[in-house]
Amino acid sequence: MTAVRQALLILLAALIPASLTAAFHPRRPAWSQEALAPGEETLPTILNWGDNLFWVDARSAEDYAAEHVPGAILLNLEDWDRLFPKFLDRWSPGQRVVVYCSASTCELSRDVAERLRKNGISPVFVLKGGWEAWKSKR
């Protein structure tokens, strides 16, 4: 039997357990799950990464002063020139930067993440759901 024929048979055979997985597996993927935007991550995934994280709060100074993710630093576009050098003082290359704003509807975290990337900071991620996601999960 040729390699191609054998491969086709294996491809067909894999359909059986795959169909059972799709129908019954308790951890099967949702078929219409809302997609993550590029560079966006969910809180459970981020927490799985361990301690090598650098949290950036892209909200206003007032919101930050009221409450923020432990260890997060304030960095927003309004006061970028003053805050970015402070970011550079504390961030070590290799640390994953996670930016958040108030909720999934806000754009501030995406804007700050984009500006960080343009300044050569990598990797930079946006927390899906922002501060609301953090508050609801913790």
Partner 1 sequence: MRFPAWPRLVEVSRLLMRIVLGALFLLGGAAKAYDPGTFATEIQRYNLIPWLPGAIAAVYLPWLEILAGLLLILRRFERGALLLITCLLVVFTFALASATFRGLGIDCGCFGKAFAATGTIFPLIRNVLLLAFTACLWFGRQ
Binding site for partner 1 (CB under 8 A): 1-11, 13-15, 17-18, 21-22, 25, 27-33, 35-36, 38-39, 42, 45, 48-50, 52, 96, 122-125
Nearer to partner 1, 102 or 104 (CB): 104
d(CA 54, CA 56): 7
**Strand ranges inside 1-138, DSSP E:** 40-41, 53-57, 73-74, 96-100, 124-127
Nearer to partner 1, 1 or 66 (CB): 1
* Least CB distance to partner 1 at residue 32 (A): 7
User: Residue 96 has what DSSP assignment?
Assistant: E
* Least CB distance to partner 1 at residue 97 (A): 9
- Tell me if 74 sits within 8 A of 83, measured CB to CB: yes
